[in-house]
A and B are shown apart, each in its own frame.
Chain A
Amino acid sequence: GDQVEQSPSALSLHEGTGSALRCNFTTTMRAVQWFQQNSRGSLINLFYLASGTKENGRLKSTFNSKESYSTLHIRDAQLEDSGTYFCAAESVATGGNNKLTFGQGTVLSVIP
């Protein structure tokens, strides 16, 4: 079945620094979404990408369907960025079925 491999599984950043999260896909994906899950468990939408790059504040995401990967860059990390980040993708093969296949998540801890 569709597989989404997300890395790293955990990441610690000092305030003000940055890093990147990555998801690799084993099949062709039509689109990818990135979410932040906060301490209360709510999934907050960050990006939806069918291709290319989007930027929002300190976050930037890229989706390359041909090379089967997506990245999420965080710069100038703040304490409120702590949480678990998930990528989730829609497979081309599913047609009208829009189910998301989730990565395993990245637990981000921002340290003062």
Chain B
Amino acid sequence: ETAVFQTPNYHVTQVGNEVSFNCKQTLGHDTMYWYKQDSKKLLKIMFSYNNKQLIVNETVPRRFSPQSSDKAHLNLRIKSVEPEDSAVYLCASSSWTGGEDTQYFGPGTRLLVL
């Protein structure tokens, strides 16, 4: 099965803790992304990586850091979580094929910060 996989599905933690979310794509794509979906369902880009290189870094707090070991993996680490980090984090991947650059999304990781 080829798709975008994320772990964990759900994570509950306390303020100040460190968390790490994993994303793997088996689609053979060369670009991967992290998006944040807040409680109002608004989706915003956080980072994108192309062939292990950071190409987009939106205005995201420094406690967020993406980590890529190869083009199929893009993890997200949050150093010291805060209550406003509670959200759904969605990973996506894409590649230029036939003039299109469709992004495919994983199921998301739901983070709750107490």
Residues of chain A whose beta carbon lies under 8 Å from any beta carbon of chain B:
31, 33, 35, 37, 40-43, 45, 48, 50, 84, 86, 88, 90, 96-102, 104-105
Contacts and interface: CB of A to CB of B under 8 A. Distances in A.
Interface of B: 31, 33, 35, 41-45, 48, 50, 55-56, 58, 88, 90, 94, 99-105, 107-108, 110
A86 B43 contact: yes
A35 B31 CA distance: 19
Contacts of B108: 41-42
Contacts of A40: 107
B107 A42 contact: yes
25 contacts: A33-B103, A35-B105, A41-B107, A42-B108, A43-B105, A45-B104, A48-B100, A48-B101, A86-B43, A88-B43, A88-B103, A96-B55, A97-B55, A98-B94, A99-B33, A99-B45, A99-B48, A100-B35, A100-B43, A100-B45, A100-B103, A101-B45, A104-B42, A105-B41, A105-B42
B90 A43 contact: yes
